Amino acid sequence: MMNERYNFLIKNGIDVEKGIENTGDFDTYNEIILDFIDFFPEEVNKFNKFKLNNDMYNYEIVVHALKSNCRTLGFNKIGEMFYQHELASKDGKNEWISENYNILIDEVKKLYQMLLEYKGMCSM
């Protein structure tokens, strides 16, 4: 079962080895991913609300935390996207954030759908 989940993540572009390196072993990594899945939508709603309210201070805080979590788990592509949004919010580049926001949201949706599929594999 572990191999199936491991291969599923690899196939979906996740740097599983980095995630395991950061968390100790696959079982711990798996537990942290499952926790991440549960709080991810709430965090996305937070940064979405902050963006809509033009609250770049809090937007930066949330995207910074998501960047760190994603990088820790080996979600490198979206981790980098969160990092770019963090830098832009620090630099007051609200126009850049607006221009690139839908790209980030699309990637968030893809990641979340993949993670829901992964969670389903874990409950089998």
Task: Kindly report, residue by residue over 59-87, the tens digit of the pLDDT.
Answer: 999 999 999 999 999 999 999 999 999 99
Domain count, the chain: 1
Is residue 57 pLDDT above 80, yes or no?
A: yes
Please report, for the domain that includes residue 77, its CATH number.
Answer: 1.20.120
Q: What does pTM read for this prediction?
A: 0.94
Q: Which domain holds residue 97?
A: 2-122
Return the HEC string of the chain.
Answer: CHHHHHHHHHHCCCCHHHHHHHHCCHHHHHHHHHHHHHHHHHHHHHHHHHHHCCCHHHHHHHHHHHHHHHHHHCCHHHHHHHHHHHHHHHCCCHHHHHHHHHHHHHHHHHHHHHHHHHHHHHCC
Confidence of residue 123 (pLDDT cuts 50, 70, 90): confident
Q: What is the mean pLDDT of residues 43-57?
A: 95
